Structure 1
Amino acid sequence: MDNRPIGIFDSGLGGLTVVKEVMKQLTNESIVYFGDTARVPYGNKSKSTVTKFSAQIIRFLLSKDVKAIIIACNTVNSNCAIELRELFPELMIEGVVGPGVIMASRATKNGRIGVIGTEGTVKSGRYAERLREIHPEYQIFSKACPLFVPLVEDGWTNTEVAKMVIATYLNELLEEDIDTLILGCTHYPILSEDIQAVVGKHIKLINPANETAYQMGLHLLQENIQAVAIPSYHFYVSDHKEQMQDMAKMFLGCKTPDVIEVDIEKY
């Protein structure tokens, strides 16, 4: 058994949706979360820059003695997860793309799957690539939805404005007869009710956070490094710690403990 924490990071605060699922499923595991709020968003940055930023964050998390890492950022997963595993070969690293692909492949009946996310995630084509590794006949339809993040962060969920924006982005996907839609950004599950209202109940929404937490639990079990202690949760950002404190209730359903700002460039 191993009571060291799990490290979770994102380009901003959306990764708190993954934190919530890990807290729910892995009830004995401690968590160290880092949100790169000074340099968000990652979706419009180059692969080399995203890799550099992510490596700095992992080095910071290692300084907190984490036993494993969850990359909660879809852009990082889609662009440089392979490179990060090569840079840190001894570290257990789980992402959200693989688990999201597993969930979508289980859910689809007609093999027509939609993927929404940031520009970086969509341009990478990583979800489509992984889905076709499972079944070459899958048809994948992707759409970048850059306004979804500000809708969440500015508190416009469960409004007609949100539904109008969602419909504008997703109408072309609906014309493709998709039966499954991957929410390929950690902010998007906060919009689940609005998205479901627009696309209809016949389309299954995939929140990769659910399977990500489950897969991490399996890895910990296989390696015999599950925790048995009362968990602790620590939250770090690179800027705007007040914003995390303000938004924690939306993402986690509760207040976070103290949030600490870190000069991530030192790592």
Structure 2
Amino acid sequence: MDGRPIGVFDSGVGGLTVVRELWRRLASERVLYFGDTARVPYGGRPAFEIETFARQIMSYLRERGVKLIIVACNTTSALALDKVEREFDLPLVGVLRPGARAATKATHTGKIGVIATEGTVRSGAYERAIRALMPHADVVSQGCPLLVPIVEAGRADSPEAMNALREYLAPVMERGVDTLVLGCTHYPFLADGIRRIVGPGVAVVDPAGETVETVSALLNDLGLASSSRTGPDEFMVSGDPAGFARVAEKLLGSRIPPVARVALAELQRS
């Protein structure tokens, strides 16, 4: 048994969709979560900045003694993970490849839509990952720059969110997709509205489930699984802890432990 925590990080609250899945499927595992809320959103930032942020956060989590890191941010998975993973001597799992794998399992026609941040869409990473598994796939991607700020502000159930979703989903649905990948970990918090717009004929894929399946298999293969909890989960942010806790508890529908602040200067020393 390995009682060390699993590290999870994202630009903000989005990675909590992966934490929610960890709670459901791997309840004996402890979570150490980091939200980079002082620098959210990541979607419009250049790749070199995302790489720098990833190195800082992953180094910090390694120093905190995690046994595995989930990069619970599609933008970071798309722009930085392949470049920085060789620098770290512990298992790293992104959300993009599991999302692509889940999409190819769900589609019947090979017509797959992806909604994501502008950075993820520009990278072409989802198209490459999906076509590596399904070469004939017809993939249409749509950048959605307003959605992360809406979720971070706790307005996932607002008319503003629905209006933005209608605008972003219209060109995707015009292509006749039968599967839609939520290619940003913030977007599952908008899933009810998305399903109302796309209708029952479109499979909506949240990569969190496939990601946690990947993590579970990896923990077992490496002998790192925990058979029982060894302590509470921990939550840290680079921005405002109270603001993060308020939005997180609204989105999750439950209380979370007290949230600590980690100054950017401390991250930059890691």
SS of match in other structure, 1:14: coil
Q: CA deviation at 1:153?
A: 2.9
Q: CA deviation at 1:155?
A: 3.6
Counterparts of 2:23 and 2:217, CA distance in 1: 15
Counterparts of 1:46 and 1:108, CA distance in 2: 32
TM-score for both structures, normalised by structure 2: 0.95
Q: CA deviation at 1:160?
A: 4.0
Count of matched residue positions in the alignment of Structure 1 and Structure 2? 266
CA displacement, residues 107-154 of structure 1 (integer Å, 9 cap, x when unaligned): 000000000111101101101001010111101000001111233233
Matches within 5 A, 1:1-267: 1-88=1-88, 90-230=89-229, 231-263=231-263, 264-267=267-270
Counterparts of 1:154 and 1:216, CA distance in 2: 30
Q: CA deviation at 1:80?
A: 1.2
**Alpha-carbon contact 1:5-1:32 (below 8 Å) kept:** yes
Counterparts of 1:57 and 1:234, CA distance in 2: 15
**Alpha-carbon contact 1:20-1:251 (below 8 Å) kept:** no
Q: CA deviation at 1:159?
A: 4.2
RMSD: 1.2
CA displacement, residues 41-85 of structure 1 (integer Å, 9 cap, x when unaligned): 111111111111110001110111000000001100001111121
Counterparts of 2:251 and 2:64, CA distance in 1: 23
Counterparts of 2:225 and 2:77, CA distance in 1: 24
SS of match in other structure, 2:113: strand
Identity %: 40
Q: Residue type of the partner of 1:121?
A: T
Counterparts of 1:233 and 1:252, CA distance in 2: 15
Structure-2 change in CA distance of 1:38 and 1:153 (3 Å):
closer
TM-score for both structures, normalised by structure 1: 0.96
SS of match in other structure, 1:57: helix
Consecutive unaligned residues in structure 2, runs of 5 or more: none
Counterparts of 1:56 and 1:161, CA distance in 2: 34
